[in-house]
Amino acid sequence: MLRASIGLNNLKLLLPMISGRNELLEAKTLISRAYKEISQEAESAGNSINIPLLGIMVEVPSILYQLDSIARDIDFLSVGTNDLTQYLLAVDRNNARVADIFDALHPSVLHALSSIVTIGVRHQLPVSVCGELAGDPVGATLLVGLGYQQLSMNTRNVAKIKYLLSRLPYEALVAQANTMLTLNDPAAIRTSTETFLADQGLDALVKIGQMR
């Protein structure tokens, strides 16, 4: 990857499944070693290369309690909502016997998402979200209300979510998200947010999201 970025200097590396600072530092050591090697190759050919920006996927619950301490070691964060939900709730989403317990709108997940974006803002780290929640009208509504500004989703959902968000006042999104943080039932959170969207004349998009 470093060799391919020679002359472009636009490489960003996103490390998955980081559970602690030691893992991050070990990865940084390997990246630094590779950078020194490739930068020498680049210089010998009259080119230059920058050390890439480095981020981590926030998907292992243990890292939630170490984000403040590793902020100086990274350049950005990306939240993997699928795995984060699975590990927070101790539910295998591919196991039919317990799949109904898997819910990214669980209060614990929402509070974790709120905490992550707050830490990102505190340390001036860009924070993005990838996972099925970002492509869900209810999920996207709450994510933007919590403060997320970069959402990654399946391409089939982009137009729908873009349309949805363009018709919702940001202040209303923030108010809705803050209210949902006070609830303790995932079903109530979804129902309340669907009602909020219906009140904004966007109930058709909610039905589309449910069908998918």
Average pLDDT of the residues in 146-164: 95
3-class DSSP string for 67-117? HHHHHHHCCEEEEEHHHHHHHHHCCCCCCCCCHHHCCCCCHHHHHHHHHHH
The answer to whether residues 137 and 206 touch, using CB atoms and an 8 Å cutoff, is yes
For residue range 169-204, list pLDDT tens digits in order. 999 999 999 999 999 999 999 999 999 999 999 988
> How many domains does the structure of the chain reveal?
1
Q: Does any domain span residue 1?
A: no
Q: Does any domain span residue 204?
A: yes
Average pLDDT of the residues in 71-78: 97
Q: What pLDDT does 211 receive?
A: 40
For residue range 1-20, list pLDDT tens digits in order. 999 999 888 999 999 999 99
Q: Does any domain span residue 177?
A: yes
Q: Three-class SS of residue 150? A: strand
> 156: domain CATH number?
3.20.20.60
Expressed as residue numbers, the domain containing 171 is 57-211
